[in-house]
Every structure is written in C-alpha cells, then in structure tokens.
C-alpha cells in the first residue's frame, strides 16, 4: 500500500511526488514516455535556471532529485484508476494500491483517426468500457486501438459480452497477448443512421457493430476522469483550492486542470496537489 500514487511523469507529476515524499509518505510515480517539457529545446523563463537550459536537462535534474528523496518509479502505462479500499491503479504490467492519487497526465485526448466517430459519440461510440459496457450486454462490440489501453478496455467488455474485436486500424497490435480477436485492417469510416451501425474497412467491406470503444494511444486525464466519475468543465478536470477533484482522495495538477501551460505553473500545481495528497493519505492511515 502506497500513501500517494502519482500518475504522470511530467513537471506536475514529479513536483507532486517530491512534495509527497518529503512529507514522509511512501510515494510511487508511474508514467511512460517523454513529457511535453522534455521536448523543449530552450527554457529561459524558469525560476533559478540562470539562463537557457534544455527541457530535457531540466526534467532530468527533477527526476534525479525525486529519486534521491525516495520516490519509487514505474515505467509503465496506466490503463485505469478505480476506487477500492483506497484506490487501485492498473497498468500494463500490474496494479498498485494507494490511499491518495494525483492525476498529472495532461489533457490531450487522442483522435480516433477514423472519420465519423465524433458524430456517433454517445450513440454507439464510447470512450469508457467501465462506464458504458453495461449497455452492450451480449452485443457485438469493437475496441479501436493497438496497445495496452485497448487490451484493457477489451478485457473489461468481455465481462458483459463474448463478441469483442480489437481493431488496430492498420497498426501492429502491441498490447501483449490479445484478450480477444484482433483485426489489423485499415478503417475507412463508421456508418449508421441515428446510431452506430458499424464500420467500413478500407477495402470497402462493412462490418456490423452495436458499439465501438475508442482506446487509441494511452489513457489521458479525461479518460481516467470518466472512469472515476470526476467533474469536468470545458475539457478540464475541476479541482478545489487544494487541488482535489470531485472525488475525495483524487487530486489533479498540470495541463489537465487548465491555466497557463508553462513548466512553472505545472510545478506549482504539482506542489500543492502532492502536499495535500500527503495530508489526505495521513488522515486515512490513522
């Protein structure tokens, strides 16, 4: 059991982890891939750098600092966060339990890459198997994606229907052993009338589907928020003055809560969320 689990390894996430571990809490930081800050070639407006520094160098220093203080790291892809006796964070490699969670995974929601999917969102197209799988019991459904997140959503759907296919849209499936059938053909479009009727492959073949779940790329803040039922306003997670979301024990920081998209802002958001998450975890441990 961790006191604080931080999801996201950008400036907001690392800052949150540093403040949580310095508050004496057992802290885990989970994330995979480079953050937006690391791609910045020159950073010259961040406090204390004394001039120009690359985003990669600045972030490398922060990661080393967090490690020296005792933050544990997992280079894994987070697929879900759920409420249990505390919180359970699932990844492509396992699951971890914590008393408090900080979401710092950014805001971007990956595009489906298939024309027409936006038209049918809420009418056969979904982005959350936990939320909407119930409505597709014993029906024919597909999952659009090619990685661990798609595999996770497919497994969730297999609890309500035995007819699930993962559609990779021309990509090689990279989510480990697939839990169901996999179709690697390129998709041309989706079709239907008042609700989704199915998908059309690039070769012109039409496949009937009752539902299609979008799980392209990795799970972003809005995807995780939907699974937890968190309040969202204009595409951003809603937080209070302490950085806590509408779910007690879940905090958020960085681009996913809006504001100025700068490293300095993300670090400040992360500091607040990490400190308050540590305090929350402490109360829960008593």
Same domain? 184 vs 265: no
Model pLDDT for residues 17-58, shown as the tens digit of each residue:
999 999 999 999 999 877 777 867 778 888 888 888 888 899
- Give residue 267's pLDDT: 96
Domain stops at, among 167, 186, 214: 214
- Give residue 110's pLDDT: 66
Question: Cα(129)–Cα(107) distance, rounded to whole angstroms?
Answer: 19
Model pLDDT for residues 229-284, shown as the tens digit of each residue:
999 998 889 999 999 999 999 999 998 998 887 899 999 999 999 999 999 999 99
Same domain? 29 vs 160: no
Same domain? 171 vs 90: no
For the whole model, what pTM was predicted?
A: 0.79
Same domain? 158 vs 247: no
Instruction: Indicate the average pLDDT of the chain.
Output: 92
Same domain? 177 vs 266: no
Same domain? 76 vs 206: no
Same domain? 11 vs 97: yes
The 10 Å CB-count burial string (b at 16+, else e) for 102-135 is bbbbbbebbebebebbeebeeebbbbbbbebbee
Model pLDDT for residues 126-140, shown as the tens digit of each residue:
988 887 898 999 999
Comparing C-alpha atoms, which of 67, 92, 280, 285 is closest to residue 175? Answer: 92
Model pLDDT for residues 134-169, shown as the tens digit of each residue:
899 999 999 999 999 999 999 999 999 999 999 999
Same domain? 55 vs 175: no
The residues, ordered by sequence, that sit 6+ positions from 220 with a Cβ below 8 Å of its Cβ are 105, 106, 107, 108, 109, 110, 256
Lowest mean pLDDT among 61-65, 224-228, 273-277: 224-228
- Specify burial of residue 180 (Cβ count, 10 A radius: 0-12, 13-18, 19+): middle
- Lay out the sheet containing 164-167: strands in order across: 125-126, 211-214, 141-144, 164-167, 181-183
The domain total for the chain is 2
Q: Which domain holds residue 102?
A: 2-109+219-285
Question: Cα(85)–Cα(191) distance, rounded to whole angstroms?
Answer: 42
Same domain? 184 vs 122: yes
Same domain? 255 vs 181: no
* Positive or negative: CA dihedral 15, 11, 58, 79: positive
Lowest mean pLDDT among 129-133, 179-183, 190-194: 129-133
Same domain? 224 vs 95: yes
Please report, for residues 40, 216, 241, 285, the alpha-carbon distance to residue 109 in angstroms, rounded to integers and kept in the order given: 21, 9, 25, 35
Domain stops at, among 214, 230, 255: 214
Same domain? 243 vs 210: no
The domain that holds 159 is classified in CATH as: 3.50.50.60
Domain stops at, among 214, 246, 271: 214
């Amino acid at each position: 059991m961790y006191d604080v689990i931080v999801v996201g390894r950008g400036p907001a996430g690392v800052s949150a982890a540093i403040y949580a571990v310095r508050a004496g809490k057992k802290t885990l930081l989970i994330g995979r891939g480079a953050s937006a800050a690391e791609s910045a070639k020159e950073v010259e407006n961040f406090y204390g750098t004394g001039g120009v520094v690359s985003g990669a160098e600045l972030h490398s220093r922060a990661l080393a600092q967090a490690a020296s203080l005792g933050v544990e790291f997992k280079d894994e892809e987070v697929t879900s966060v759920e409420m249990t006796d505390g919180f359970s964070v699932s990844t492509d490699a396992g699951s971890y339990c914590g008393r408090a969670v900080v979401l710092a995974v950014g805001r971007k929601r990956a595009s489906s890459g298939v024309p027409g999917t936006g038209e049918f969102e809420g009418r056969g197209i979904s982005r959350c198997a936990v939320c909407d799988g119930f409505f597709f019991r014993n029906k024919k459904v597909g999952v659009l994606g090619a990685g661990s997140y798609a595999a996770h959503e497919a497994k969730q759907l297999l609890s309500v229907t035995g007819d699930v296919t993962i559609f990779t849209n021309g990509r090689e499936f990279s989510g480990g052993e697939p839990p169901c059938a996999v179709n690697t053909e390129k998709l041309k479009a989706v079709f239907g009338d008042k609700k989704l009727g199915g998908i059309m492959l690039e070769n012109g073949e039409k496949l009937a589907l009752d539902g299609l779940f979008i799980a392209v790329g990795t799970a972003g803040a809005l995807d995780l928020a939907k699974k937890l039922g968190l309040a969202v306003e204009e595409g951003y997670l809603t937080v209070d003055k302490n950085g806590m979301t509408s779910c007690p024990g879940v905090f958020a920081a960085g681009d996913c809560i809006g504001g100025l998209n700068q490293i300095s802002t993300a670090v400040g958001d992360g500091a607040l969320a990490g400190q308050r998450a540590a305090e929350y975890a402490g109360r829960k441990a008593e």
